[in-house]
């Protein structure tokens, strides 16, 4: 159930003023209560213009992660039924695993900071406070375990499209689970599963996105942030609500496609976003490492690589470096 702040936020829009009295009448509260909620929204980072005899108008969404923002977002979701917010966690993946057994429907975990964030191969993912978006989306499919290969392909498109729609920045996908802007990494995601008898019960997809430029991002040669890329175009505003709404909607869209259609239906889109094809790189698998060039991706999600000797490899899991 929405609290009063969330209800007031739902009434406000960016196109016209709405009087405090009209909001009070619609919500069945006093004008003073509406005014207090407006002040709370301002403290949460929302820009609300107030004009005598006209009322209030939302001029910019919040750039902060707040419970009001998250509750408003989840109330509009067609897939996720709950969102768990923590100011600081070891990792959102760990929190997600703690809640899986008690939540039967898809849900999201979001935090403002991770002290033990991790990526593929248990690598550290730096997650300083108020500098990025750290979340885990828990999905509840009933599919065979081998289908998870293709899940990453769908979800990478979802994240890339959300960034483009929110910030008008051109993105690229680096197989298997990174999103790049201008040849630098801005996002990584980690997909884990719970399965039984070769059937997936839950997908836990952890997503880390560098939103703001921090010292830790600056110190990594191939890393960037949304803020850094926006600054190049003399744009600085990161509207967190807009971005989260786009991200959740794109995840919902591509998850539905993942469940209902083969990868071949989005293969051309994925290939057009990929930044790996035709580039020489080092491919490191479990027991070998070699130089090669990715040349294709199969309909069942295997990356096709040609090595320096001309031998063709089909790989399902590997580390690739430009």
Instruction: Summarize the annotated binding site for biotin as residue ranges.
Output: 114, 118-120, 185
302 secondary structure, DSSP code:
P
> Cβ distance 297 to 267 under 8 Å?
yes
Dihedral-angle region of residue 306 (phi above 0 means left; psi in -120 to 50 means alpha; beta otherwise): beta
- Cα 138 to Cα 135: distance, rounded to the nearest angstrom: 10
CB atoms under 10 Å from CB of 64, counted, come to: 16
> Distance between CA atoms of 153 and 159, rounded to whole angstroms?
10
Q: Which one, of 72, 106, 61, 67, lies nearest residue 87 by Cα?
A: 67
Q: Are 210 and 178 in contact (CB under 8 A)?
A: no
Q: Give the SS3 label for residue 216.
A: helix
- Both tokens of 265, joined, read 């239906």
Q: Are 34 and 27 in contact (CB under 8 A)?
A: yes
Q: What tokens were used for 271?
A: 């290939």
On whether the CB atoms of residues 61 and 240 are closer than 8 A, the answer is: yes
Angstrom distance (rounded) from CA 182 to CA 187? 13
DSSP string across 184-211? EEEEEEEEEEEEETTEEEEEEEEEEEE-
DSSP 8-state symbol, 127? B
Tracing tokens 């009434």 back to the chain, one arrives at 11
Q: Which residues does the annotation place in the binding site?
A: 114, 118-120, 185
């Amino acid at each position: 159930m929405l609290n009063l702040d969330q209800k007031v936020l739902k009434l406000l829009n960016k196109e016209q003023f709405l009087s405090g009295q009209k909001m009070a009448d619609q919500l069945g509260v006093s004008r003073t209560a509406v005014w207090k909620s407006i002040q709370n929204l301002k403290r949460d980072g929302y820009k609300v213009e107030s004009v005598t005899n006209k009322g209030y108008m939302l001029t910019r969404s919040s750039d902060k992660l707040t419970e009001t923002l998250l509750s408003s977002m989840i109330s509009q979701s067609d897939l996720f039924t709950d969102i768990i917010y923590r100011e600081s966690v070891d990792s959102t993946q760990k929190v997600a695993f703690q809640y899986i057994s008690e939540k039967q429907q898809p849900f999201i975990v979001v935090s403002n900071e991770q002290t033990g964030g991790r990526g593929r191969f248990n690598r550290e993912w730096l997650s300083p406070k108020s500098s990025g978006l750290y979340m885990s989306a828990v999905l509840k499919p009933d599919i065979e375990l081998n289908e998870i290969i293709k899940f990453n392909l769908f979800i990478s498109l979802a994240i890339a499209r959300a960034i483009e729609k929110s910030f008008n920045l051109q993105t690229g996908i680096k197989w298997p689970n990174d999103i790049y802007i201008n040849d630098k990494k801005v996002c990584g995601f980690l997909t884990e599963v719970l399965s039984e008898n070769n059937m997936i019960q839950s997908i836990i997809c952890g997503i880390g996105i560098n939103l703001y430029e921090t010292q830790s991002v600056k110190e990594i040669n191939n890393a960037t942030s949304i803020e850094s890329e926006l600054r190049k175009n003399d744009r600085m505003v990161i509207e967190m609500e807009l971005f989260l709404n786009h991200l959740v909607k794109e995840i919902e869209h591509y998850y539905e496609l993942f469940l209902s259609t083969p990868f071949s239906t989005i293969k051309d889109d994925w290939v057009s976003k990929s930044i790996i094809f035709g580039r020489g790189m080092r491919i490191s698998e479990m027991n070998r490492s070699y130089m090669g060039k990715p040349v294709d991706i199969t309909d069942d999600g295997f990356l096709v690589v040609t090595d320096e000797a001309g031998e063709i490899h089909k790989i399902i899991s590997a580390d690739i470096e430009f």
